């Protein structure tokens, strides 16, 4: 009777041990499923010319399928929605979007809020971190240019235009070979205070007219009057025979290069010199190296 009881109790204990042991994988499994969920956040948003741009980031392990919607709120009122039609990869995948909504700041400031997965289409590891909001001060003052524009690094085909503004703003240089308006321009959308725009593929020895333009985050624009700069001319050598004299039956001479260096890559270029007497050539031309910036001596043996 006792033996039977002990046996029953032993079986019960064994059964409990088995159940609690087998429960562990179950707990681990639930934990790993939780960790494998995606987790959307609005990593950042910013306004450019009245358009709100934003970046979604997936902090979770699993990818975020397409089809969820992001909402834009201005002063707590939903004003725009955007459907995300791209899969966002796991472990830090990002996606940039823009709302079709022309925001105009009203009063002294606006509260802008961007919220991911607004209809909770995506099951996430954290559903409470999907919104990002900022109180934005209304700004109707264009950026002021506080130094420049100045031109440095001028070559035969390029120039660097620099200026600074009193608030973060984008950078544009409009330019051409005649006064404004200009058709050509180079842009940099980044909102910065120190602006630098490199102009390339310019014509040599030409006067260029240019304007710089900066717009702040709310699209207030400062466009300057025309300024000018000139690209460098093509450098040419300039050879002159500076000295001719007789020496023991030889006619000696010196050639001076007062222009640019003459170099043909690795191999120095050669030019030739001839000796003329009373206008008639009396010797075969001889080769004279010209990879120099000064005098070269040559000699004709008669």
CB 89, min distance to Ca ion, A: 15
Among 118, 122, 174, 212, binds Ca ion (CB under 5 A): 122
Among 62, 71, 95, 124, binds Ca ion (CB under 5 A): 124
Find the binding residues for Ca ion in span 194-223 (CB under 5 A). 216, 220
Residue recorded with tokens 């059964």: 15
117 binds Ca ion (CB under 5 A): yes
CB 174, min distance to Ca ion, A: 20
* Pick 69 or 291: Cβ nearer Ca ion: 69
139 binds Ca ion (CB under 5 A): yes
Q: How far apart are CA 76 and CA 277, in angstroms?
A: 97
174 binds Ca ion (CB under 5 A): no
Which has the closest alpha carbon to 68: 88, 49, 51? 88
CB 114 within 8 A of CB 129: no
First to last CA, the chain: 140
Q: How far apart are CA 151 and CA 130, in angstroms?
A: 46
Residue recorded with tokens 């702040």: 216
DSSP letter assigned to residue 25: H
* Pick 57 or 161: Cβ nearer Ca ion: 57
194's CB contacts (< 8 A; 6+ apart) are 162, 164
115 binds Ca ion (CB under 5 A): no
CB 135, min distance to Ca ion, A: 16
Residues lying near Ca ion in the complex (CB under 5 A) are found at: 39-40, 117, 120, 122, 124, 126-127, 129-130, 139, 141, 216, 220
């Amino acid at each position: 009777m006792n033996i039977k009881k002990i046996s029953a109790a032993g079986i019960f204990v064994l059964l409990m041990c088995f159940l609690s042991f087998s429960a562990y994988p179950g707990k681990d499994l639930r934990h790993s499923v939780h960790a494998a969920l995606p987790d959307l956040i609005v990593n950042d948003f910013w306004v450019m010319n009245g358009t709100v741009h934003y970046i979604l980031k997936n902090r979770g392990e699993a990818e975020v399928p397409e089809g969820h919607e992001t909402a834009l709120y201005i002063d707590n009122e939903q004003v725009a929605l955007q459907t995300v039609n791209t899969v966002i990869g796991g472990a830090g995948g990002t996606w940039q979007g823009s709302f079709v909504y022309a925001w105009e700041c009203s009063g002294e400031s606006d509260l802008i809020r961007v919220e991911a997965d607004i209809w909770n289409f995506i099951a996430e590891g954290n559903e409470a971190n999907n919104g990002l909001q900022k109180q934005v001060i209304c700004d109707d003052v264009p950026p002021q240019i506080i130094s420049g524009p100045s031109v440095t690094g001028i070559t035969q085909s390029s120039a660097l235009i620099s200026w600074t503004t009193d608030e973060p703003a984008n950078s544009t240089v409009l330019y051409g070979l005649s006064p404004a308006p200009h058709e050509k321009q180079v842009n940099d959308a980044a909102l910065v205070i120190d602006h630098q725009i490199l102009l390339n593929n310019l014509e040599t020895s030409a006067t260029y007219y240019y304007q710089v333009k900066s717009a702040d985050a709310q699209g207030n624009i400062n466009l300057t009057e025309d300024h000018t700069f000139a690209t460098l001319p093509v450098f040419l050598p300039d050879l002159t025979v500076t000295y001719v004299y007789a020496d023991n039956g030889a006619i000696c001479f010196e050639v001076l290069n007062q222009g640019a260096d003459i170099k043909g890559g690795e191999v120095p270029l050669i030019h030739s010199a001839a000796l003329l007497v009373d206008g008639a050539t009396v010797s075969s031309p001889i080769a004279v190296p010209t990879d120099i910036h000064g005098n070269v001596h040559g000699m004709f043996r008669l």
